[in-house]
Structure 1
Amino acid sequence: MKLRMAALAFTAIALTGCASFVAPTYSPDYPSIDRLKTTQLGKVAVGEFQPRSPEAPVNKISLRGAAFVSSNGSFAQYLEDAIRSDLTELRVLDPKAETRIDATLLKNDIDVSGINTGEGVMEVKLSVTKRGQTVHEKVYSAKTQFESSFAGAVAVPKGQSEYPRLVRTLLQTVYADPAFINAVKP
């Protein structure tokens, strides 16, 4: 039994140790978008989402030794693109708008080290400015859990596929906050 477990562990490390995995494309959470459509939102610009450097700790995720990266260069850019996608879906994205959303990614991780359960954690400091004045600033966080496996060949791709859900969970929290909604109203 011990030999079999050692062989499984070696196989998991061998399969994931050298590979690099890319975060899947974000897709909007349509129930959240539909709820936002019932409110009268003003036009919104997307400002700076930081940190951009791929070397920043929040932009470096390891899935059992395998690099997990954003195709956009950074996970801050991934989050920015997700918000742009949602605002486009809502038809309120306008680069020239006087209302602007900026954010700083504070925590960002997908943990597949557990035997049966994986976990995603994200924390973002988000601010809304209108005509140069900050009207809303808050730290939002999200935590997700998902079924994982001892076997790296199962756990790593599962963690990879869970990342967009983590981002959607965070954005659901933002979009459900009345203070955020009031800040982006005209």
Structure 2
Amino acid sequence: MSTKIRCAWCEKDDLYRDYHDNEWGNPVYDDDKLFEFLVLETFQAGLSWYTILKKRDNFRKAFDQFDYRKVAQYKDKEIETLMQDAGIIRNGLKIKATISNAVAFVKVQEEFGSFSKYIWEFTGGKPIENNIKKMSDVPATTPLSDEISKDLKKRGFKFVGSTVIYAHMQATGMVNDHVEDCWKRN
């Protein structure tokens, strides 16, 4: 039996290993999936990604399968329902930010044709290949994540600081931060 070498951060348990092996760092060009990761990264701010992954299915149910068209229409009734949902992170600011981000997401789609086209324009449409030797080499932010964060904020997005955006870039494969000996590197 061969043992796969993985990025050290994912060796906590099978949930993390499965996420690493099947999602993290895979280029995502689908608007629905990009919105899902934006929601999850928004809620992750200040918390561990593991906490968010464990609650991912609950978030999916609570936010209409991450349907940004529906989320953009949420009003006080839906906010109140979300604030009572023990299955998600009940942070009013993050809930309201998710709704306003859905509205901004639709506006970006209208302007660029898709959110994917907009966000991937920052990398020329393909992943940035970083040469990560060990996990301590992975940055929390980069000048590019600073630039994207600033542009998103200008467009009305909230909870999209540079650290959140860099994590989003990693999750959606805009950057390849798998360590060099990780089986997913290439």
Determine which structure has the larger strand proportion and give its number: 1
Determine which structure has the larger helix proportion and give its number: 2
* TM-score, scaled relative to structure 2: 0.26
Higher RCO (CA-CA < 8 Å; seq separation 6+): 2
* TM-score, scaled relative to structure 1: 0.26
